[in-house]
Amino acid sequence: MTRTMRALASAAAVTALAFTGACSDDDTTSDSTSDSSTSPTESESSGGGHALPEGWPIHSLPIPPGGTVEDENVTADMVFFHVGGVEADEGMAFYDTALPELGLTRSKSAVVDPVAYESSELKVIVQSGDFGDVTLTVTRP
């Protein structure tokens, strides 16, 4: 898995956390034109969330406004996905606000990209990708 793919997955996961439960009827109608081959998480737009595996401390992560989940890998210990449809800088800024609102603390490291956010139950790495997307990697500490 490339750094770009990881970066893209990290950003999407963080966005999904911030908007958990905020999806409106308008969000679902805007998805009606999406490709029928996509999974439900791939077509979620702003206000939607990316579902985490059963038993995880936070069950969904926010997706930035206008963003869509384009790829995912879910295992018992890790969730990886990238968010398309948003610029990398905008996605990184979105998660910088959204994740702390969910109780995750930004790592004290001087690293700007990727950025780590964590709580006692969850760690989210947000990274920009080569194609202007954001990747989120979610793990348990």
pLDDT: is 93 or 131 the higher one?
Answer: 93
Length in residues, the chain: 141
Q: How many domains would you assign to the chain?
A: 1
By C-alpha distance, which of 47, 54, 55, 7 is closest to 27?
A: 47
- Beta-carbon count within 10 A of 91 CB: 33
* Residue range 47-56, pLDDT digits in tens: 578 888 888 8
* Residue range 59-113, pLDDT digits in tens: 889 999 999 988 788 888 899 999 999 999 999 999 999 999 999 999 988 788 9
Dist. CA 58–CA 114, nearest whole Å = 21
For residue 110, the enclosing domain spans: 3-139
Q: Can you give the pLDDT at residue 47?
A: 56
pTM value is 0.65
Dist. CA 26–CA 91, nearest whole Å = 22
Dist. CA 66–CA 52, nearest whole Å = 20
